[in-house]
Structure 1
Amino acid sequence: MMTEKENTRISKYLSLVLRHAPEAAGITLDEHGWTDVGILLKQLSRNGYAVSPAELDHVVTTNSKQRFIYDENRARIRASQGHSVAVDLAYAVSEPPTVLYHGTAEAFLSSIEKTGLDKRSRHHVHLSADDETARRVGQRHGKPVVLVVDAARMRVDGYTFFCSDNNVWLTEHVPTAYLQRQ
């Protein structure tokens, strides 16, 4: 069985190649972000990440953020969200909860207060259904701050929301009028 350290190392590399730089592993993603599991395993091995199918399955199923998903036949794999490369994840518009949360670091607040939440190099702004998840996300970048998003009012005002396979809420932009510091 692989160590937790090795699991994390592989997970981080999978995040890189399935979300941002498939060329780093010599793979391609189709228009919906999928790649063949067999080809992925072969290319991982060529790049210093010798991973068996069972080990890949362990990384996918134990990832605390459920960042990766197999197709129904387990022949293809993709990242659930967070891409900076052009893919269409084909998520349907979803009705969000009344409020959603965004975790950030205190250092980013002045920028957010000016422009709202921007997707930047990603396809969407990422939001959480609970404040604890948002707090954990914010902690990755410094002193955490949780912002409350008035998703119900945004929806009434015509903004669209999607929910990823791993229950991350996605939207194009959150203007400052819909944000409040928790």
Structure 2
Amino acid sequence: MIRKCLQHGYFRGEVCPECGEEGRYVLDDDREERLGRFISGALRHFPEDVGLEMDPQGWVDVDVLCDIMKKRYKWGTMERLVSLVESDVKGRYEIDGSFIRARYGHSVDVDLVSDYPENELPYLYYGVSQEEADMLLENGITPIRQCYVHLSTSLEKAMQAASIHTENPVVFEIDAAAAQDDGIDIVVVNEDIVLAKSIPSEYISIADAQE
């Protein structure tokens, strides 16, 4: 559920995590899920199919998106779209003036490297299944269903991400500093996720906690 606190803005849950106030109802769980699936598809996977024109950096006109959304969901107001973005603890989307885009997770080709800040962490992490580990250690990491490799800023985050897909994940440590020194672009999209077009094998090793 999404509600709005007069003091702290949109939040998810029954009470504002900042002050404990109940706030004003904006969106229930079912509509939040339906709207979230639509926005994810429109901004990450099939913008043209829903009638959106996306620029090379993944931005679309937020008013156009809202109009398309309203045709599908009569209850799909601009406020509810904004509330979905601003209350998202994973930081999936961003609004800048009259434009909106997904920060990560694209299967359509977008250029995010030129917009986001360069990574400053010396090491990053990437979780895989045991079946994938040897192949990736030898061949490097390239995107499969997405246009960027999504790296984690901590071993714990990589373990959590990989655990969604496999019961016994292996976590790689990425020598990000060396990779960037050699000209590989690695950019930060939020405090948990960092993007790269690919990571060659020479920068990959098994994280110490996994050895």
Report the alpha carbon displacement of residue 9 of structure 1 after superposing the two structures with TM: 3.0
In the comparison of the two structures, how many residue pairs are matched?
180
Answer yes or no: is the 8 Å Cα contact 1:66–1:166 preserved in 2.
no
Q: Using the alignment, how far apart are the partners of 2:38 and 2:129 within structure 1?
A: 24
Match of 2:147 in 1: 123
- Please state whether the residue corresponding to 2:159 is helix, strand or coil: helix
Classify 1:64/1:146 alpha carbon distance in 2 versus 1 (closer, same or farther; 3 Å). Answer: farther
Could you say which structure has the larger radius of gyration? 2
Report the alpha carbon displacement of residue 99 of structure 1 after superposing the two structures with TM: 0.4
Classify 1:5/1:115 alpha carbon distance in 2 versus 1 (closer, same or farther; 3 Å). Answer: farther
| Structure 1 runs not aligned, ≥5 long | none
Report the alpha carbon displacement of residue 179 of structure 1 after superposing the two structures with TM: 1.6
Report the alpha carbon displacement of residue 117 of structure 1 after superposing the two structures with TM: 0.9
The one-letter code sitting in structure 2 at the alignment partner of 1:100 is: L
Identical positions, percent: 28
Higher relative contact order at CA 8 Å, sep ≥6: structure 1 or structure 2? Answer: 1
Q: Using the alignment, how far apart are the partners of 1:105 and 1:13 within structure 2?
A: 29
| Structure 2 runs not aligned, ≥5 long | 1-25
1:171 aligns with 2:196: yes
Classify 1:4/1:112 alpha carbon distance in 2 versus 1 (closer, same or farther; 3 Å). Answer: farther
Post-superposition Cα deviations, 1:141-169, rounded to whole Å, max 9, x if no partner, equal 12233211111222233322222256622
RMSD (Å) for aligned C-alpha atoms: 2.3
- Please state whether the residue corresponding to 1:118 is helix, strand or coil: coil
The one-letter code sitting in structure 2 at the alignment partner of 1:111 is: M
Identify which of 30, 40, 65 aligns with 1:15.
Answer: 40
Answer yes or no: is the 8 Å Cα contact 1:91–1:163 preserved in 2.
no
Q: Using the alignment, how far apart are the partners of 1:37 and 1:156 within structure 2?
A: 37
- Please state whether the residue corresponding to 1:173 is helix, strand or coil: coil
Q: Using the alignment, how far apart are the partners of 1:115 and 1:64 within structure 2?
A: 34
Answer yes or no: is the 8 Å Cα contact 1:25–1:44 preserved in 2.
no
The one-letter code sitting in structure 1 at the alignment partner of 2:110 is: V
1:78 aligns with 2:101: yes
Report the alpha carbon displacement of residue 43 of structure 1 after superposing the two structures with TM: 0.9
The one-letter code sitting in structure 2 at the alignment partner of 1:37 is: V
- Please state whether the residue corresponding to 1:174 is helix, strand or coil: coil
Q: Using the alignment, how far apart are the partners of 1:150 and 1:53 within structure 2?
A: 42
Answer yes or no: is the 8 Å Cα contact 2:139–2:200 preserved in 1.
yes
TM-score (norm 1): 0.84
The one-letter code sitting in structure 1 at the alignment partner of 2:118 is: S
Classify 1:5/1:147 alpha carbon distance in 2 versus 1 (closer, same or farther; 3 Å). Answer: farther
